């Protein structure tokens, strides 16, 4: 049956054959992959938003923070929120956040 097949070299050599599992969301995932490969609007949005997200994740995990420090979800959740708040404050300070009297001001954006 497979003797004349052009794809014979790509077949499995396993005695039990090959098991192919199709997951419930296969069609949805395939459609999303097609859209990512062919839709210029999707690609533009992806190229716009991917770098800032990657940068934020890199800031979060730098200096040995890739692994959790505590046991339990409560302590790790507190640590994560504190780390994110500190990073946000550092970012705002770098953008020109200043305290004047009883209010905070962000320096106007320069182009």
CA dihedral 44, 46, 52, 56 (to 10 degrees): 180
d(CA 24, CA 38): 24
- pLDDT tens for 50-74 read 999 999 999 999 998 999 889 999 9
Q: Tell me: the pLDDT tens digits for 79-106?
A: 999 999 999 999 999 989 998 889 999 8
Predicted pLDDT of residue 111: 65
Give the integer Cα–Cα distance in Å for 79 and 85. 10
Chain position carrying tokens 């040995």:
64
Q: Which residue shows structure tokens 């490969």?
A: 37
Are the beta carbons of 98 and 105 closer than 8 angstroms?
Answer: yes
């Amino acid at each position: 049956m497979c003797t004349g097949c052009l794809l014979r070299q790509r077949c499995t050599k396993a005695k039990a054959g090959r098991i192919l599992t199709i997951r419930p969301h296969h069609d949805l995932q395939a459609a999303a992959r097609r859209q990512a490969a062919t839709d210029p609007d999707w690609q533009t949005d992806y190229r716009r938003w991917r770098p800032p997200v990657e940068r934020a994740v890199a800031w979060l995990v730098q200096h040995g923070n890739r692994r959790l420090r505590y046991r339990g979800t409560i302590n790790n959740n507190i640590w994560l929120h504190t780390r994110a708040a500190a990073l946000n404050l550092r970012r705002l300070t770098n953008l020109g956040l200043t305290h004047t009297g009883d209010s905070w001001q962000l320096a106007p954006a320069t182009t």
